[in-house]
Structures are given as structure tokens and as C-alpha cells.
Amino acid sequence: MLKSNHYGKICLLISFATLIFSSCVVTKKSVYFNDLPDSSKARSIIPADFKEPVIQPDDILSVTIQTIDPSTTLAVNQVSAMPAVGASSASPTGQQVITGFLVDKEGNIAMPMLGNIKLLGLTTYQARLRIQELASKYFKEPTVQVRFANYKITVIGEVAKPATYTVPNEKVTLLDAIGLAGDLTIYGKRENVLLVRDSEDKKEFVRFDLNSSDIFKSPYFYLKQNDVIYVEPGKGKVAATNAARTQTLTIIGSLLSVIIVALSRF
């Protein structure tokens, strides 16, 4: 009897230790940047360099030319509105109407009075200087503003709000995109987040480990327009799905059994 009780205590102790260990492992995998020391001492990380995005075909540019007399630039600032599926940080669903100048396949935009302007491969700062130079032929000391009107990032998979997001600025990070999507769900694999990027005539695939602070050093940490982020589901999601399916089949089987028994009595 004593020997049996001794073995029972050992088994209970092993089970308890296993439960604690597995809980610690799950918690560690759910915490971002868990390689950083848990102390009040600050730690510095030199992030990757930010490279300004360049203008590509099918981009939509918001271009505004201003002068002392706003009425003189009304004609040149007239742009067409076009629907675009996307979202802002305020609303992750629905259809937006974007106003701006479409970059054609040759990399040009067509502006009233100024004509076709080649902007392919330029940053918005360089595009502003080029348009300002052309506008100076028609207006006195014009001020030009250029920005992307459809700078969109897509976040799909195990996030709270998967969608295509149109962001208001060009300096967008991986964490910004995840924040827009409402963070990863409990089932998302933080150690294997996939980035898909169009790069000229090919696609690039990059994987991130959100448990590591090394992502700040990655040259892909800053996103580009049309990037797609995919969060893969973990084994927990598969297990939960299978459990729910098994429970449903069990309930259906029980109901069928009751029905068969009821019919057999008539």
C-alpha cells in the first residue's frame, strides 16, 4: 500500500511539473521580443535603414499645387475619383473612393495644363521637385505636395481584423501593419510570420520571428506598398477545429440515436 502511494505521488508530481513546463513554453511563445532582458535597464538596437518607396505603375498619387491665389490652380488640381477596395486605420472594411492621378504602365501621370509627367522610379520628394519645376512655367512660386493615395498593405491569416489597409504615410513597419489588423489571435504563429513582396518581375518571401528583437534589424522591417503579411495558424487552431468538429459529430450521432430509438417504439 505504501509503495503504491509512493508511486502515485511521483506520478502526480511529474504531471504537475509537465503542466507547469508546458504552460511556460506556451507563454514564452506568445510574448513578443522575449529575448530582451526583463529589467529596468534600457537596451538599444540599431534598426535597419529606411528606404523611401518609389513610384510604380498603377500607383495613385495625390498631387496638390498651391499658389498665393488658389483660384489660379483650380484647373490643374482637378482629379478623378476612383473606387478602391481597402481600408484605413479607422475602418478595416468597405470600399473607399480615392482621388488622385493614376500612374500608367509607362510610369506617367497626366495632369491638366502640365501634360504627361514621367515619375516612374522616383520618390515622392523627387516627384514633387519635378512637378514644381514644370508648374513654375505657368504659376508664380508654386508649392507642390505629392503623396501616395493608395499606399496599401494586406494582412491576412490569424489576426483579429484581416483586411487590406490604406495607410496615410510611407514609413510603415511590420508592427504598424499588425497593429492595424488588431494584433495576432491566440492561434497565430508568432515565430513564423510571412511577408510576400512584389519586386520588379519576381516575388520575395521573408519570414519573421516576432519572439525575437532581431526583426528591427531586418531590411524588410519597413514595408512597401502592396506588401502582403500572412500569419500562419498554429497547431492549437487545428486542434480546436478538430475538437469542435468532433463535438458536433457526437451531438449529431446522439440525436440520430434518439430518433432511431423513438421510431423503433412506434
Q: Is residue 202 part of a domain?
A: yes
Grid coordinates belonging to 17: 511539473
Q: Is residue 243 part of a domain?
A: no
- What's the angle, vertex CA 215, arms to CA 214 and CA 220, rounded to 5? 135
Q: DSSP states of 130-155 as a string?
A: HHHHHHTTTSSS-EEEEEES--EEEE
Please report, as a single letter, which amino acid is at residue 58. D
Q: Is residue 26 part of a domain?
A: no
Q: Bigger pLDDT: 193 or 47?
A: 193
Identify the band that residue 161 occupies on the pLDDT scale cut at 50, 70 and 90. very high
Place of cell 440515436: 257
Question: CATH code at 203?
Answer: 3.10.560.10
Q: Is residue 28 part of a domain?
A: no
The whole-number average pLDDT for the span 214-233 is: 94
CA dihedral (181, 225, 164, 236) in degrees, to 10, reads -50
pLDDT at 184: 95
Distance CA 52, CA 216 (A): 17
Distance CA 216, CA 221 (A): 6
Same domain, 156 and 144: no
